[in-house]
Each structure stands twice: as C-alpha cells, then as structure tokens.
Amino acid sequence: MSDAMKSLLFAAVIGVVCSLLLTAASSGLKAFQQENALVDRQRNVLKSVGALEPERKYGTDDIKELFAAAIKDIRVDANGQVLDADAASGLPLFLYTRDGQVQSYIVPVDSRGLWGRIYGYLAIDNDGRTVTGFSVYQHSETPGLGGEIEKPWFQQNFVGKQIADPEGNLTSVGIAKGKVAEVIPPERRNHYVDGISGATLTGRYLSEGLKDILKAYEPVSRRLRDEGHLEIPEIS
C-alpha cells in the first residue's frame, strides 16, 4: 500500500471512531442536558420577575416548585385574547401570578445578536408599561463585551423602564450607545438603558429585537394599558 493510501485510510478510521464517540456522548447525555436547559429557562423566567433572591442558592427542585406555583404558561392570539396553553397558534406568554392576581407578564425574547441569537425573558408589569425585569439565558456574544448582557448590572437597568409613552403608544426599550444620562435627552431617558462599551452592535441588534418582539405582543400590552387586567384562564 502506498503512503498516501495509508494516510487516507488512517484518517478515515480516526474520523469514524471519533464521530462514534461523539455521537455516543451526545445522545447518552442528552436527557440530562435537556433537563438542565429546561430548569435554566424556568430559573430565568423567575429571575426576570424578581421572584428569586439574588444571594440565595436555588436547587433544581426549588426552581421547579416555584415555577409551578407562580408561573402560568399561556398563549395569546393577534388580538390579545388568551388561548389555551396547548393551542397550536398564537404567541407563547408567561403570567406571573400571586394570590390569584396577575402581577406581570413575561415575554420570551428571541433576538438577533452579533454572533448568534440572544434568548431571554422580558417581564412587564400588569400596567402594560413598566418593565419589571430582563434576563438572558443563552447567547453567543463575546465574553466581557457583548457577553455583559447576562450580567446583573446590565439587566438591573431595565427595571422600571417604560415600553410606552404617556399617551400609550409603544416606544419599546432601547440600549443607549453609552450612558443614558449622557447621550439621551431627559424626556426619553425612561425608554433607554445604559449601553455596554465595546458592544455597540450587540446593543443595536438587541434594541431592534426587543422592539420587534414588543410590537408582536403589543395587543396584550395594549389591553392591559386600556382595560387594566387580563383574565387568568382556568388551571387545567
């Protein structure tokens, strides 16, 4: 056998063996990873509504229990009407309830980022205007730059911001290019959060993403602004 053939054969064998090992590892561990990812999403939903104390450690079971007790998983149609959670159409939405009252609603965020999609949750008070929290559970931004979107200092700035102007028109929440206090005129400051230096593009894409998402959920927000409540569907 020639040397070239030997090299090719060796490379092919290595390739097959490595891919078999990787397939085994990936499919063998998938169940654990999916469980982790699910609990992580639930943790972030709870974080976005401020249901978790920052200094306390929550185990997997704590998160599941809290989530089951406080969060309702629903869907809404284009007119802001609540559909059954199993409905095939409509937009997914979470309701944060306490004592049978809807405290806030949580919009899943799926936005463009600089290097990949940014996934997270934006929680809005039941007045349909005030952001009560923001969290990110998956992204591909550069650690230390765009990756700061997952840090508490960045997410904390969303709390209390307004997604609508006093007349009730949607304004969304944007990420400023720099410090809000320095670059945004005073009358619009409550629609912006501080930007991340070195991550202008991440901020711009996330601003655009949040705007598109809030636009899609505007019927729900508008109903809350106008009617002041959202009926809770029966727990099935």
Partner 1 sequence: MTTATVKLTKSQGYRMVADALWKTNPISKQVLGICSALAVTVQMNTAIVMALALTFVVAFSNLIISMMRNAIPRNIRIIVEVAVIATLVIIADEVLKAFLFNISKQLSVFVGLIITNCIVMGRAETYAMANPPGRSFLDGVANGMGYGSILVGVAFFRELLGSGKIMGFQVVPQFAYDLGYTDMGLMLLAPGAFIVIGLFVWLEHTLLKD
Q: Which is nearer to partner 1, 26 or 101 (CB)?
A: 26
* Structure tokens that stand for 48 in this block: 């976005």
Per CB under 8 A, the segment of 22-30, 97-105, 124-132, 213-221 that binds partner 1 is: 22-30
CB of 150 to partner 1, least distance (A): 9
* 78 is a contact residue toward partner 1 (CB under 8 A): no
Q: What type of residue is 82?
A: V
* 16 is a contact residue toward partner 1 (CB under 8 A): no
* 21 is a contact residue toward partner 1 (CB under 8 A): yes
- Residues 25-64 interacting with partner 1 (rule: CB under 8 A): 25-26, 29, 32-33, 36-37, 39-40
CB of 143 to partner 1, least distance (A): 6
Q: Which is nearer to partner 1, 194 or 218 (CB)?
A: 194
**SS3 labels along the chain:** CCHHHHHHHHHHHHHHHHHHHHHHHHHHHHHHHHHHHHHHHHHHHHHHCCCCCCCCCCCHHHHHHHHHHHEEEEEECCCCCEECCCCCCCEEEEEEEECCEEEEEEEEEEEECCCCEEEEEEEEECCCCEEEEEEEEECCCCCCCHHHHHCHHHHHCCCCCECECCCCCECCCEECCCCHHHHCCHHHHHHEECCCCCCHHHHHHHHHHHHHHHHHCHHHHHHHHHHCCCCCCCCC
- Residues 118-157 interacting with partner 1 (rule: CB under 8 A): 143-144, 147
Q: Which is nearer to partner 1, 43 or 129 (CB)?
A: 43
* 14 is a contact residue toward partner 1 (CB under 8 A): yes
* 11 is a contact residue toward partner 1 (CB under 8 A): yes
Applying CB under 8 A, the residues found at the interface with partner 1 are 3, 6-7, 10-11, 14-15, 18, 21-22, 25-26, 29, 32-33, 36-37, 39-40, 143-144, 147
